[in-house]
Every structure is written in C-alpha cells, then in structure tokens.
Amino acid sequence: MTPTARLLAGTMLSALFLAFPAAAQSTGDTSPIDHVEGQPPATGAENTASGQPVETEAANAPDQTPAFANQTRAPQPAEMPKVETTTVAEGLPHLWAMEFLPDGRMLVTAKKGSMHIVSKEGKASAAIEGVPEVVSSGQAGLLDVALAPDFDSSKRIFFSFSEPRDEGNGTSVASARLVEDGTGAAKLEDLTVIFRQMPSYDNTKHYGSRLTFAPDGALFVTVGERSDRETRVFAQDLASGFGKVFRIDASGKAIADNPFISSGGAQPEIWSYGHRNLQSAALDGQGRLWTVEHGPKGGDELNKPEAGVNHGWPVITYGVEYSGGAVGDGITAKEGMAQPVYYWDPVIGPSGMAFYDGAEFPEWKNSFIIGGLVSTGLVIVHLDGDRVAHEERVPLEARIRDVKVGPDGAVYAVTENPSAGSSSVIRVSRAD
C-alpha cells in the first residue's frame, strides 16, 4: 500500500491528532494577537530607528541561528515613506481575496462562499450566481480568485475553494466565465472544476491557497499540508498533494516540462514540495514565483520555489511546535533541502502578497508587500538580487487578508474581522 493510500485508509485517526497542539495557525482566529502562543510580532508602530531591524521582540526559538546574513531581522531602509489610509469599502462580508477588474472595480471572494463585485464607490453587488458549495468552517472557505490572462476577451476567472467531498474535503480550483447583465447582477457560466488537491482529508485546516499566472500562461496553485501530525509528513511525499506548489495549464493538466512528470508514482502537476501552508504568492519583475508560508510557532518563510526543489517541511524548519518542543529532530538545515530566503520569528501571519512596481511609492519599487494577519499591517520586503536587504512594516491595526497594487499605484488591503464576520478594503497612499 502506498503512503497516500495508507493516509486515505487512516483518515479516521485524524481526530486523535487534533487533541495535540500541533499545527494551528492564525487564520480562523477572532482577534489579531490573542491567539499567539509565544511572543507577538512587531507591528511597525514601535518607531524603531531606520537601519535597525523592526523586530526587537524575543524569538520563540532563540537558540536557532540564520544560515546567512539578513535571512531574518533585516535592517529597515534609511528612507521609509509616510502613508495615509482611506476606507474604500466597509461592511463587506468576511472576505478572503480580491482582484482588480480591468475597469477598476474589484472582484472579491467571501469566506462563507459568495463572490461579489465592489464598485469604485465601494458598493458591493448582490452575490454572484453559480458559485459552487464550499466548506467554510475553521480555515476553509471560498479562497483565492484570479483573472485569466485573456480575461478582456474570454471573461474567464479562476478560483480556489475548500470543496466538500465524500472522503472529507480539499482545495480545488475551478474556472468559469463571469457574465454581467448590465443591471449590476452577475453569474458564473461554464463552470468546471479543473484541479483537485488529492487525497481528500477530513479537517478544516491548511488549505493554502493562492493562484498566480506565470507569463507563459501556466497557473501556479499553492496548497497546505492539512496541518495534522498525521498529514504534515506527506509534504515530503511526491505521491501526495499535501504541502505543494502545483503548475498546471488552464484546463488543469500538468505542464509538459514539470519536474516530476516522468517520475513514477509522483503527481505530475507538482512544481515544488516540502511546504507547510502557502497563503501568499506573487511574481517578481522577472516573472518568477515567490511565496510566503505559515510556519509553526516561529518560522514563517519567504521562498522562491523552483522546479523540483524540496523546501524541507517538516524535516527542517525555523521555529518550534506550539507546545514549545522541537519540530521533528529540531534541525534547520539538511542537504538537499532549500533554505528559506527569509524567515520571521515571531511570525507575521502572512496572507496576500503583491510585487510593487508602481509610482506612488518609489521607495518600495521592486519590493514585495505582504499582508500580516498577526502583525496587523503591511510587511515590505526589499530585495537585493535574490536576498532580502531590508524589511519595514506599516501598522494598520487590523488583520490583513489580502493585498493588491491598484491601477493608481496605491496599495489596497483587505481587512478582516472574523468575530463580526466582516471586512473592509482600505487604500494605502503617500502622505507627503
């Protein structure tokens, strides 16, 4: 019996593992920092001097040391812009993702399973018809949304969601045409589920999931390893879809030059593996994929996934178990496993991620802007080649679920208040 088959046969055991404090993460909690076990992170409101790391609190794993300079706690840049915020839309349902339409309106997904179009004036449409049923408890829900590269002509969108299945549930990707009738109503037509993370599993944790189109039209799909001790080990198993980045075409098929397409027993859609829970993904200015994944208690990671690369979870990781004990053998490096480009301890709780190439903030050009569910603001990571040179944080005093750069060059952040079941969209612009 294969390891994946054994997992399918043993899913009833998962309830035993849920009793352990193994792999909870920030999503699904009802306050910004109350859930944090260990040291909460810096928000950026501490006024740490430029040239010094913004994070000054103690690490959850103080005995771990970075593998190279600036792998963690990189200094802040000398020049950091002042910002101001404007509420664009409020009173929205609890959102998970947003995407700008070509005309400047926003297409948003709500965790409980609805999709809406938000006007430039901040008014949300009625729920778009035709969205499939989703699991929405815990960390599950209607997840990311992306426009097809040819959206202007095809009107096709792609979205990921926690799909209910006979064997449990899992992250799936669907494609459909977004059809508007001119009266403000819209529906999804020609909907097809093009890809399913397999195997299915019966819990409500660690789904990922971000969707990112590469310049060649390939679609990257990020997923989690479903959190439990029983499932996390399958991040290392190429026969399993847990803890992976997939690379597929618009119909859901594996791309012909994927690294494991000819490997016996491997899922051919796999691009990289050994991931924990990837909820951030974006392309850089060269069209290369970068991701951020949730770590354990400490150890959120910025990575640049490449074909066939093993990113190590759960064999190597920074941070510790929520119980305070070591993850596995407690090692942070091993031959054949990639080091993260950058890591955070304490965690920031990464969410949406965008590459900045706008005019509003010249200081942020060629940087990644990452939403912080735990740091409750924006995390700006400045690159020097393929390494991090500087990190700064913009406090927004809210859990940030998604981040996008608008057509005007400003940064738009989706906030969430899970206890109230609501979200807002705020615009972050230059104050001086």
Q: For the chain, how long is the longest CA-to-CA vector?
A: 64
**Token pair 């819209």 is at which residue?**
186
Element spanning 229, H or E: helix 229-232
Peptide bond into 209 cis (omega under 30): yes
Question: Is the distance from CB of 172 to CB of 163 less than 8 angstroms?
Answer: yes
| Cα gap 274→264, rounded to integer Å | 19
> Please, which residues have CB within 8 angstroms of residue 198's CB and are 6 or more apart in sequence?
4, 170, 240, 241, 267
Q: Looking at 94, 116, 206, 275, which residue is catalytic?
A: 206
Question: Is the distance from CB of 55 to CB of 39 less than 8 angstroms?
Answer: no
Which residues is 334 bridged to in the sheet? none
Strand order in the sheet with 377-384: 350-356, 367-372, 377-384, 387-395
| Residue 206 is among the residues annotated as catalytic for this protein | yes
**Token pair 């093993």 is at which residue?**
310
Question: Is the distance from CB of 417 to CB of 397 less than 8 angstroms?
Answer: no
Question: Is the distance from CB of 273 to CB of 292 less than 8 angstroms?
Answer: no
Q: What are phi and psi of 34, to 5 degrees?
A: -60, -30
Element spanning 426, H or E: strand 422-430
Q: Indicate which residues carry an active-site annotation.
A: 206
